[in-house]
Chains A and B, each alone.
Chain A
Amino acid sequence: MSENQPILALDNVSKIFGRANQPIYAARSVSFGLHAGRTLALVGESGSGKTTAARLIMREYHPDEGRLLFRGEPLGKASAKAIKAYRASVQMVFQDPFSSLNPAHTIRYHLERPLRLHQRQLGRAERRAAAEALLERVKLDPKLIMGKFPHELSGGQRQRISIARALAVNPQVIVADEPTSMLDVSVRLGILNLLNDMKKQDNLALLYITHDIATARFVAEDIMVMYAGQIVEWGAMDSVLDNPQHPYTRLLLAAVPDPDRRFDAAQPGELEQIETIRRQAALPQKDIQQVGENHFIRPIPDMVIG
């Protein structure tokens, strides 16, 4: 496997719902790769397709078009053994700290189970030690936390445990689906920093899905903007944020609450403009245009670049 080959890649993947004569594309021709040691942010509004992308990666959905590539090999026809290896390599951290842990089980159970399933060679004592080591990695005290039930812990602690659980199987890819959107503001950075540290320590590929673009800038080097199932603009974070080229990206960035800018009143005709942008951005676009060194867009018709 070459240095630059992504560990996990989506190749022209589409996911279609609805009937044959009225297909609804939850994801349309989505292609991207996750590289070791790098964080890719996937941003978009609700219904943009970012959750669909996560589910495709976690194999909750299967692609209707295109394919998933793991270490260069297509996953579609993989053997049971390969699927098991995939499961241990790709883990997810969920959005809701209140439903991502089973209220009926202790933290010990949550951490030892993955160890039992994917590291069978460990004996009982080794497993116990490994679980404790995991908690320490996420900055929690095993003596205080191991025997507790999820409802006895705060949202931030639960997210840390979710991360610990994901790390238990020594994954190569972590998909974090809005991991901090349901946490208090003062707790969010701690979790994001933790993800960052884990990524560096284990050389993970991290996919960070969010609607909060400011946090995306904080954690990720690369960014993809999705709308209506398509990736409309992608590339290096600074390039995309400082010099957005796609009208939808510009719309999105202008709408993000920025305390440094005073709230501006609506311009005449602005509403119609927004409607037009949305409508055009939703049309299927095949072409890809490079607008910077690591900066690409799917241009809409009659677009002016620059």
Chain B
Amino acid sequence: MSAPVLSIRNLNIDYIGAEANFRAVKDVSFDIAPGEFFGLAGESGCGKSTIAFAVSRLHRPPALIRTGSEILVDGRDVLELDKDALRRFRWREVAMVFQSAMNSLNPVLTIEAQFYDVLHTHKGMSREAARERAAELLKLVDIPPDRLAAYPHQCSGGMRQRIVIAICLALNPKLLIMDEPTTALDVVVQREILQRIDVLRKRLGFAVLFITHDLGLMVQVSDRIGIMLEGELVEVNDAQTIYRSPQHDYTKRLWASMPKLHGDQIRPEAGA
């Protein structure tokens, strides 16, 4: 592919313990092309969230990214950035939507204040300029600008999630990392949000690293999918290829564990 927007090479991440270390990510390498929707799937403990945190360097001890790992965003190694460069890098190049993003809005600040926080810190915008930009961004996610004066608790869960996405897009990042962004939301709301992301992606051109355990959803929305098992990336391919002709045993087992909504049901003996 032409210069990937995210390139992960030989990523090894350990969790240091007093007696023994736990290797959460084992020699993982993959690329994401500009504007691509890449899904990272796996069950709990497989390391997908660990990777997501590592890209923005959000880890705390006892996590340790081993020397020899490379995380390149637009060619620059994120792991080599100093504090200032890192601050400029976050939000501008890479933005992250967390699993509990609905709770990552400050409950004592209005929506407008939350936007101002990001816009002022990273672009030095004045209050008026920030308000205008915020209204623009809210329009992107179909929220009326009068919501700027509201507090997070006055908005529904789905709306809060959309607001977080709007804030993430404030600085036009090249990569949006979403860690289980719709897990706590109902299917109808989930579909609305993903539809919006799709539209925005085509319009603004950012790539998405989408992490979830919902495999059906993943196949529907992703261009390419990576399957993780216990820290290893066991299979990477186009979404449809992974779904219809999986190569790895684990991937096959995963599909065999998914009841179907229509058509032939999977065999009941599967997954015993």
The interface of chain A, by Cβ under 8 A from chain B, is 45-46, 184-190, 193, 196, 211, 213-215, 217-218, 241-242, 251-263, 265-266, 271, 274
With the chains together, A45 CA to B188 CA distance in Å?
A: 9
Please determine whether B186 and A262 come into contact, CB atoms closer than 8 angstroms: no
Q: Which of A45, A213, A218, A259 contacts B219 (CB 8 A)?
A: A259
Complex CA gap A188/B254 in Å reads 11
Please pick, from B199, B213, B220, B221, the residue contacting A266 in the complex, using a CB distance under 8 A. Answer: B199
**How far apart sit A254 and B190, CA to CA, in the bound complex (Å)?**
12
Which residue of A is nearest B261, CB measured?
A214
Cross-chain contact B258 with A185 (CB below 8 angstroms)? yes
Chain A residues near B83: list those with CB within 8 A.
none
Q: How far is the CA of A22 from the CA of B272 in the complex (A)?
A: 49
Query: Is there an interface contact between A185 and B187, defined as CB atoms closer than 8 Å?
Result: no
B253 interface hit (Cβ, 8 Å):
yes
Partner of A262, one of B220, B253, B268: B220
A-B contact list, 17 entries, CB within 8 Å: A45-B186, A184-B44, A189-B272, A252-B187, A252-B188, A254-B191, A255-B188, A257-B187, A257-B191, A257-B216, A259-B216, A259-B258, A260-B260, A263-B194, A263-B195, A266-B199, A274-B192
For B44, what are the chain A residues with a Cβ–Cβ distance below 8 Å?
184
CB-defined contacts of A257 to chain B, threshold 8 Å: 187, 190-191, 214, 216-217, 219-220
A184 touches B43 (CB 8 A): yes
A185-B213, A257-B216, A265-B199 given. 11 additional CB < 8 A pairs?
Answer: A45-B188, A46-B186, A193-B268, A193-B272, A217-B261, A218-B265, A255-B187, A256-B216, A257-B217, A261-B220, A263-B195
Q: Which of A218, A258, A262, A271 contacts B142 (CB 8 A)?
A: A271
Q: Once bound together, how far apart are the Cα atoms of A257 and B243, in whole Å?
A: 14
- Which among B195, B253, B254 is the interface contact of A265 at CB below 8 angstroms? B195
Q: Quick check: B221 and A263 within 8 Å, CB to CB?
A: yes
A241 B261 Cβ-Cβ under 8 A: yes
Give Cα A193 to B256, complex, Å.
14
Residue of A nearest to B190 (CB): A255
List of B residues within 8 angstroms of A255 by Cβ: 187-188, 190-191
Q: Smallest distance from the beta carbon of B142 to chain A beta carbons, Å?
A: 7
Q: How far is the CA of A196 from the CA of B187 in the complex (A)?
A: 26
List the A side residues contacting B214 at CB < 8 Å.
Answer: 257
* Given A193-B272, A255-B188, CB of A213 within 8 Å of CB of B261: yes
CB–CB B254/A271 < 8 A? no
Q: How does the 8 Å CB contact mask read for B251-264 relative to A, with 1 for contact and 0 for none? A: 00110011111110
Contact of B257 among A45, A189, A253, A259 (CB under 8 A): A189
Chain A-chain B contacts (Cβ-Cβ < 8 Å), number: 103
* CB of B61 within 8 Å of the partner chain: no
B residues 227-259 with Cβ under 8 Å of A? 243, 253-254, 257-259
Partner of A214, one of B221, B259, B268, B271: B259
Cβ-closest chain A residue relative to B217: A257
Answer whether A251 and B43 are a contact pair too, CB < 8 Å, given A186-B257, A186-B271: no
Interface centre among B196, B215, B257 (most CB of A within 10 A): B257
Chain A residues whose CB sits within 8 angstroms of the CB of B198 once the complex forms: 263, 265
Q: Top 5 closest A-B pairs, CB basis?
A: A189-B271, A257-B217, A259-B219, A218-B259, A45-B186
Across-interface contacts of B257 in A (CB, < 8 A): 185-186, 188-189
Closest B-chain residue to A261, C-beta based?
Answer: B220
How many Å lie between the Cα of A256 and that of B188 in the bound state?
Answer: 8
Query: With A and B bound together, what is the CA distance between A264 and B217 in angstroms?
Result: 12
Q: Indicate whether B270 reaches chain A with its CB closer than 8 angstroms.
A: yes
Query: Contacts of B199 on A, CB cut-off 8 Å?
Result: 265-266
**Distance, CA A215 to CA B186, complexed state (A):** 16
Check A260 against B262 for contact (C-beta < 8 Å): yes
Q: Which residues of B contact A261 (CB under 8 A)?
A: 220
0/1 per residue, B184-212, Cβ < 8 Å to A?
00111011101110110000000000000
Closest Cβ neighbor of A139 among chain B residues:
B272
How far is it, in angstroms, between the C-alpha of A184 and the C-alpha of B45 when the chains are bound?
A: 10
- Alpha-carbon gap, A34 to B95, bound state (A): 49
Nearest CB in chain A: distance from B178 CB, A? 15
Residues of A within 8 A of B258 (CB): 185, 214, 259
A259 touches B215 (CB 8 A): yes
Q: Is the CB of A185 within 8 A of B254?
A: yes
> What residues of chain B lie closer than 8 Å to A217, measured between beta carbons?
259-261, 265
Q: Which B residue sits closest to A216, measured CB to CB?
A: B259
Q: In the docked arrangement, what's the CA distance between A250 and B142, Å?
A: 23
Q: A218–B269 Cα gap in the complex (Å)?
A: 12
Assembly CA distance A260 to B258 (angstroms) = 12
CB distance from A280 to the nearest CB of B (A): 15
Looking at the assembled complex, report how far the CB atom of A16 sits from the nearest CB atom of chain B, in whole angstroms: 23
